[in-house]
Homo-oligomer: A and B are copies of this chain.
Amino acid sequence: MNIDDIAKLIGVSNATVSRAINNSGYVKEETRRKIFEVIEKHQYVPNAVARSLSTRDTLSIGVIIPDIENEFFSSIISGISEVAEQNHYNIHFLGSNETLGIEHAFLDTVQGQRLSGVIITPISEVDPITKARLIHLEKSGIPVVLVDRDIDDAIFEGVFVDNIAGAYDGVNELIKAGHRKIAIIKGPETSKPGKERLIGYKKALEEANIDLSCEYMVPGNFKIMHSYKGTEVLLNLSDPPTAIFACSNMTTLGCLKYLTEKKIKLGKDISLIGFDDIEILKLIDYKISVIDRDAKQQGREAMRLMLERLKNKGEKKHTRFNVPYQVILRGSERLDR
A residues engaging B (CB < 8 A)? Answer: 43, 45-50, 52-53, 58, 68-69, 71, 74-75, 77-78, 81, 85, 90-95, 97, 102, 108-109, 111-114, 136, 224, 253, 256-257, 260-261, 278, 280-281, 283-286
Q: How far is the CB of A312 from chain B (nearest CB, A)?
A: 23
A sample of 17 inter-chain contacts (CB < 8 A) reads A45-B111, A48-B109, A49-B113, A49-B114, A68-B68, A68-B74, A68-B81, A69-B71, A69-B75, A69-B78, A78-B95, A91-B93, A92-B93, A224-B283, A253-B280, A260-B284, A281-B284
Contact of A283 among B74, B91, B260, B285 (CB under 8 A): B260
Q: A77 CA to B93 CA in the complex, in Å?
A: 11
Instruction: Knowing A45-B111, A68-B74, A81-B95, say if A260 contacts B278 (CB, 8 Å).
Output: no
Q: How far is the CB of A130 from chain B (nearest CB, A)?
A: 14
Are B112 and A46 touching (Cβ within 8 A)? yes
Closest residue of B by beta carbon distance from A42: B136
By Cβ-Cβ distance, the 4 closest A-B pairs, closest first, are A93-B93, A48-B112, A45-B111, A257-B283
Q: A38 CA to B50 CA in the complex, in Å?
A: 28
